[in-house]
Copies of this chain bind each other. A is one copy, B any other.
Amino acid sequence: MIYLDNSATTYPKPQSVQSAVTSAMRTSANPGRSGHRMSLAAAETIYSARRTAARFFGMENEEKVIFTPNCTTSLNMAVKGLLQSGDHVVVSSLEHNAVMRPLERMKNQGISYTKAEVFAGNDDKTVDSFRHAMNGLTKMIVCTHASNVWGIRLPIERLCALAHAYGLLFIVDAAQSAGVIPIDMHEGYDAVCIAGHKGLYGPMGTGIMLLSENMTMKTIIEGGTGSNSFSLEQPEDLPDRFESGTPNFPGIAGLKKGIEFVESRTPEKIAAHEFRLIRYLYRKLEKLPKIKLYTPMPDERYFVPVLSFNADGHDSEEIAAILNKNGIAVRAGLHCAPNAHEAMGTLEYGAVRISPSVFTSMNDMDRLAYILSRLS
């Protein structure tokens, strides 16, 4: 199968990731729970994964790398851990349901939000739009680094500076960007939420929350941490405070190898490869009369390498089904991001999304364009 659904999860995983998971399954005890050799070896692997992630994201302190089950959990932890009754939040118009549904749920706690429109290709207008969405009760900006549907990239460095200029917290949903766009915690982001199984090439079941140096927050999950066990209070120390219960040890062992894989290839080169593919495809698709594209030719400054489209006279799910029959895996529909579709006027019928990985080839793009050219 030609797999072009890498924004859902990257496939295949690098051999080193697969081997690390297999080896963790074969040899490992519960990390950090006991003092015997097997448990200590597992704890050392987790610690080493933490160091790898810290290095990759420009952090001095690996204790601020929190491992979570997925990016959705990271976002819930950050948003719910930091907001209080009466707070107002600014989000972009392109947020995933992993941001919108927690905020919608928190309305019953007196939390409100405003959506700021994003202007692809015009960061000044986007930053202005966020500024205008702020009010006297605004506590936080939370926004996606890049739309999982349209690939539109947000100027998070500037939005972080804006937030801090007004004394607000700045939280990033980096589900679609980590591993493809460099993320440097020296920029001062208060929390960055990451999927381990997408651009970092780790296994499903892994996520990360990166915290800035002095950041901590309320917990949404408490339990055994293997530390301060005598106390019924959740420990204050990081990362333990946010890592209750047995972690996904095989997953984290794999994620470490995934990050190392991306480090060795470099995000810059991976992005360059994927942009070549997406622009090649874009030029082919813009020549097909039935295909409707929604964004301009993707430019590294304003996009990540993801392309969504529709075809006249076909529902997006129908196109995905035709592609599936022809051995091509893509995702259609709303991609759990109705806001992003509303912003583009595609809420009713969704779109077909093409998301390549480092393993995708020009031939894959040719085959996809060929099948689409034959649509009746």
Residues of A within 8 A of B (CB): 1, 3, 5, 8-9, 11-13, 17-18, 21-22, 25-26, 28-30, 33-39, 69-73, 75-76, 96-98, 100-102, 104-105, 195, 197, 203-207, 219-226, 229-234, 244-251, 254, 317, 320-321, 323-324, 328-339, 347
Contact = CB atoms under 8 A, between A and B. Distances in A.
Given A76-B244, A229-B335, 18 more contacts: A3-B29, A5-B38, A5-B39, A9-B29, A11-B29, A13-B25, A13-B26, A21-B22, A30-B197, A35-B324, A36-B323, A36-B331, A72-B224, A97-B225, A100-B232, A105-B234, A204-B246, A229-B334
26 contacts: A5-B36, A8-B39, A18-B26, A30-B204, A35-B331, A35-B332, A36-B320, A36-B328, A70-B245, A71-B245, A72-B223, A75-B223, A76-B222, A96-B223, A101-B234, A105-B222, A195-B246, A204-B250, A205-B205, A205-B247, A205-B251, A207-B245, A229-B334, A229-B335, A229-B337, A230-B338
Contacts of A104: 222, 232-234
Contacts of A337: 224, 229
B34 A331 contact: yes
Tell me the dominant secondary structure on chain A's binding face: loop
Contacts of A246: 8-9, 70-72, 195, 197, 204-205
Contact of A37 (B101, B232, B250, B324): B324
A333 to B, nearest CB: 7
Contacts of A96: 223-224
Contact of A224 (B9, B11, B98, B329): B98
B76 A230 contact: no
Contacts of A331: 33-36, 39
A230 B320 contact: no
Nearest to A227: B336
Which residue of A37, A221, A249 has the most chain B CB atoms within 10 A of its CB atom? Answer: A221
B223 A102 contact: yes
Contacts of A206: 248
Contact of A248 (B22, B34, B251): B251
A331 B39 CA distance: 10
A121 B195 CA distance: 48
Nearest to A230: B338
A39 B39 CA distance: 34
Contact of A336 (B75, B226, B323): B226
Nearest to A74: B245
A3 B26 CA distance: 13
Which residue of A97, A101, A245, A331 has the most chain B CB atoms within 10 A of its CB atom? Answer: A245
Contact of A247 (B37, B39, B204, B317): B204
A203 B250 contact: yes
Contacts of A225: 97, 336
A39 B329 contact: yes
Nearest to A15: B26
Given A25-B13, A230-B347, A251-B250, A1 B36 contact: yes
A343 to B, nearest CB: 14
A324 B251 contact: no
A181 B42 CA distance: 29
Contacts of A330: 34, 36
A244 to B, nearest CB: 5
Given A22-B18, A38-B329, A222-B76, A101 B204 contact: no
Contacts of A98: 223-224, 244-245
Contacts of A320: 34-36
